[in-house]
């Protein structure tokens, strides 16, 4: 066990509340069922993110009436046609269903969520990654995987490799490696050693947490 890992273990034992604060996404998280990540019908990462957005709406509103234009805006995509394709993927996979009500000259579309994830059966993606236009949907899913595993194991950094993420997201390992490198350059992920990663959220980094712990000694 090296010095940094020893400091981290001491931090977890002495200050579990600091670990929780380190892992807290201040802007909240977007939940995505793990079943979507490996679904053969839902092939595009933006469709997965779209489901997470719809799930958030379902938790807030009794019925979901939202236009493709608004969904495109929330998902940071330019083409409304893309939203139509992503909705079709989610319907084919059985994750959502659509119904239409005709009132005079207007037609209202309602979106119904068919798959509600149970606790522990989803990944949580920090919303700050979703809102960042420079982060692709696949990169947001990678961040979500790392972030969720950190929460699961109550670690402020974890040992994983690109194969682990690739398997979870059902994507080629080379693609995941390239995107992890891009996220590290962008400052969203930090690598201490070859297979050691942590998510860098907006308000707190692992260095700050360890520094605070050392100041208390």
Q: What is the three-class DSSP state of 112?
A: strand
Instruction: Give per-residue pLDDT as tens, 61-104.
Output: 888 888 999 999 888 888 899 999 999 999 999 999 999 887 77
Domain with 136 in it: what CATH number?
A: 1.10.10.10
- What is the model's pLDDT at position 216? 38
Domain assignment present for residue 124? The answer is no
Domain assignment present for residue 195? The answer is yes
Candidate from 85-89, 146-150, 202-206 with smallest mean pLDDT: 202-206
- What is the model's pLDDT at position 96? 93
Average pLDDT value over all residues in the chain: 80
Domain assignment present for residue 122? The answer is no
Domain assignment present for residue 118? The answer is no
Residue 69, token pair as written in the block: 């234009």
- What is the model's pLDDT at position 209? 45
Q: Residues 99, 143: one domain?
A: no
- Compare 114 and 206 and report the one with higher pLDDT: 114
- What is the model's pLDDT at position 167? 92
Residue after which a domain boundary falls, among 78, 113, 148: 113
- What is the model's pLDDT at position 63? 84
pLDDT > 80? residue 205: no
Candidate from 126-140, 146-160, 163-177 with smallest mean pLDDT: 146-160
Q: Residues 156, 90: one domain?
A: no
Q: Residues 16, 36: one domain?
A: no
- Compare 192 and 74 and report the one with higher pLDDT: 74
Q: Residues 41, 107: one domain?
A: yes
For residue 165, the Cα-to-chain-centroid distance in whole angstroms is 12
Q: Residues 140, 211: one domain?
A: yes
For the segment 171-194, the average pLDDT, to the nearest whole number, is: 85
* Nearest in space to 111 (alpha carbons), one of 132, 95, 125: 95
Q: Report the distance separating Cα 66 and Cα 164, nearest Å.
A: 35
Q: Residues 108, 155: one domain?
A: no
pLDDT > 60? residue 189: yes
Instruction: Give per-residue pLDDT as tens, 13-55.
Output: 666 666 666 677 767 888 898 888 888 889 899 999 999 999 8
Its domain, for residue 67, covers 32-113
Domain assignment present for residue 120? The answer is no
pLDDT > 70? residue 172: yes
Q: How many domains does the chain have?
A: 2
- What is the model's pLDDT at position 159? 79
For the segment 139-163, the average pLDDT, to the nearest whole number, is: 84
Percent of the chain with pLDDT over 70: 76
């Amino acid at each position: 066990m090296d010095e940094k890992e020893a400091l981290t273990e001491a931090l977890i034992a002495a200050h579990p509340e600091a670990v929780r604060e380190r892992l807290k996404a201040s802007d909240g998280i977007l939940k995505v069922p793990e079943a979507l990540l490996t679904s053969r019908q839902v092939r595009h990462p933006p469709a997965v993110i779209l489901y997470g957005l719809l799930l958030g709406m379902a938790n807030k509103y009794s019925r979901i009436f939202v236009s493709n234009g608004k969904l495109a805006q929330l998902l940071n995509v330019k083409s409304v046609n893309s939203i139509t394709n992503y909705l079709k993927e989610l319907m084919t996979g059985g994750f959502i269903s659509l119904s239409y009500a005709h009132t005079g000259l207007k037609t209202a579309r309602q979106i119904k969520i068919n798959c509600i994830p149970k606790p522990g059966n989803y990944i949580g993606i920090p919303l700050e990654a979703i809102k960042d236009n420079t982060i692709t949907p696949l990169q947001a899913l990678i961040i979500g995987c790392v972030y969720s595993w950190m929460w699961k194991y109550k670690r402020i950094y974890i040992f994983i490799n690109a194969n682990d993420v690739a398997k979870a997201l059902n994507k080629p390992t080379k693609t995941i490696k390239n995107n992890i490198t891009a996220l590290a350059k962008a400052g969203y992920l930090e690598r201490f050693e070859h297979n050691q990663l942590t998510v860098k959220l907006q308000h707190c980094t692992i260095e700050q947490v360890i520094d605070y712990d050392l100041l208390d000694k």
